[in-house]
Amino acid sequence: MVSRIKERLLQYKQELQKRTIYKDGLPGSSLDIVNSLLKDLEQDEKENGWILVDERLPDPDEHILVSFFNFSLPMIGRYTVDDDDGGTFRVGDEDESFCEHDLYVNAWMPLPEPYKED
């Protein structure tokens, strides 16, 4: 849902930029309001971290943290895409999918960077 909202705001921004002589910085203008909402959405994504699978899927074959609809602990997995453009969330580096274990992914987030000593 958030991605649809973001897409719609980006469309509004593009249309407003075409139609107005005041491109940016006019407080209270429609363009200013759209820009503020886009910044708020971006900040919310950074603070929350979890991305719903209905909103966006991860890049294929990158390790991610996954959350489940029917299990309380997150796990590390990856998303793969087959030749028919269908996708599956897989357990770590294994070929088995989470669905094979009756685990259903509802959200994901990128893994943090590994610790590096200074």
pTM over 0.85: no
Q: Is 70 exceeded by the pLDDT of residue 49?
A: yes
Range of the domain at 104: 50-118
The neighbouring-strand residues paired with 108 are 51, 66
**Counted domains in the chain:** 2
Q: What percent of the chain has pLDDT over 70?
A: 86
Q: Are residues 76 and 116 in the same domain?
A: yes
DSSP label of 61: T
Q: What angle do CA 6, 10, 18 make, to 5 degrees?
A: 165
42 and 60: one domain? Answer: no
For the stretch 59-97, pLDDT in tens is: 999 999 999 999 999 999 999 998 887 899 999 999 999
User: Is there a single domain that holds both residue 43 and residue 68?
Assistant: no
Are residues 111 and 62 both part of a single domain? Answer: yes
Write down the pLDDT at residue 29. Answer: 75
* 61 and 99 part of one domain: yes
Q: Phi first, then psi: give them for residue 85, nearest 5 degrees.
A: 65, 15
Q: Measure the CA–CA gap between 17 and 96, rounded to whole angstroms.
A: 48
- Residue 9: predicted pLDDT: 82
